Amino acid sequence: MRFTAIRDSYSVTETLCIQDFFAKPSWSAGLAVLGYHRISKRFESQYLHFDLSDPVDKRHVDQLKQGWKDAIRMASIVVNDLDFDGFIFRDYFAPEHNMYENNENEGSPYLGFVFWLKNDWGGRCVPVGQETPDTDVEIAYQVNEVVSDSPRSVAHMCDQGYLRLAVSEVQCEALGDTVSTRMQVLAGILIHEWTHFDRIGADAVGHHITDAANGYGPLAVRALNNEKKLLNADNYHWLALEAAEDTSRDRAIAAILTTQDVVRATALFSNGPGGDPVIGVTELNSCD
């Protein structure tokens, strides 16, 4: 996974990319998505050659582990909360690619066969600060391997990837009102790379999920034809990001309305001396 100097009119420092979710390997087509309640019981990815006594290595492993949790939660939102007849899904996939409904989302047992290596074994990363407007910059990459008849994914996160936030670190006011690269989080990188793992992506849709030319970013992925959308990792990435962000906004608004109703009711029936309310409506921050 990488970003390029020009992509959806964003600068190289703004453009990251990613996304994907998976479910029952027996599905012959459509989207593969993990159900959080099931996949949380499955294997966690492996982290190799990191020195946990080194503060930087320890922080990177912690980031990858938190990203794993965030990615599973994002996948759960896609499975449980997304309206598959709505505009968000239709922006990223054709209607006939909806394989979520009427299926039991058991999650993939193969995440335990995703190995994140500390070292840039492919020599594909560019040091932070040495990026140029004229070059592609890798964020992360992976390859499919078979060891003792067991398929596995060997992956590496470049330093630029570790600059991405965890979901809990994203500030609502920073998201803006439209889908943009400001929504990107570390979990999205994991989702993107997971879809390239053939035991997850290819087993779900029948073909290797790749990176289409001009197939990165929230605007470019929507412009792909339907066949390319199904096999482009970033479509899964951006579907998950937008679904999670949209659901979070709805939940935040609902929580605010509910809380304000309770506060108003309490103020109405809990007056102090002189009829003054004991409490009043408080200001609550939200992603509205």
pLDDT higher than threshold 70 for residue 31: no
Which single residue is written with the structure tokens 């299926």?
A: 103
Q: Which two tokens stand for residue 54?
A: 């080194």
User: CA 172, CA 84: separation in Å to the nearest integer?
Assistant: 25
Instruction: Report pLDDT for 81.
Output: 80
Least confident residue range of 36-40, 41-45, 171-175, 247-251: 36-40
pLDDT higher than threshold 70 for residue 108: no
Instruction: Report pLDDT for 211.
Output: 95
pLDDT, tens digit, 9 for 90 and up, residues 263-286: 554 444 444 444 443 333 333 233
- Kindly list the distances between the CA atom of residue 28 and the CA atoms of 21, 98, 100, 110, 127, in Å, as whole numbers in the listed order: 15, 12, 12, 17, 40
More confident residue, 178 or 77: 77
80 exposure class (CB count in 10 Å sphere: 0-12, 13-18, 19+) = middle
Residue 10 is classified by DSSP as B
Starting at the earlier edge strand, list the strands of the sheet with 150-157: 46-48, 114-117, 150-157, 140-147
pLDDT higher than threshold 90 for residue 262: no
pLDDT higher than threshold 50 for residue 38: no
Q: Tell me which CATH code domain 2-249 carries.
A: 3.40.390.10
- Give the residue from 102, 85, 92, 286 showing the smallest Cα distance to 191: 92
- Give the 3-state secondary structure of residue 277: strand
Instruction: Report pLDDT for 77.
Output: 84
**Confidence band, pLDDT 50/70/90 cuts, at residue 256:** low
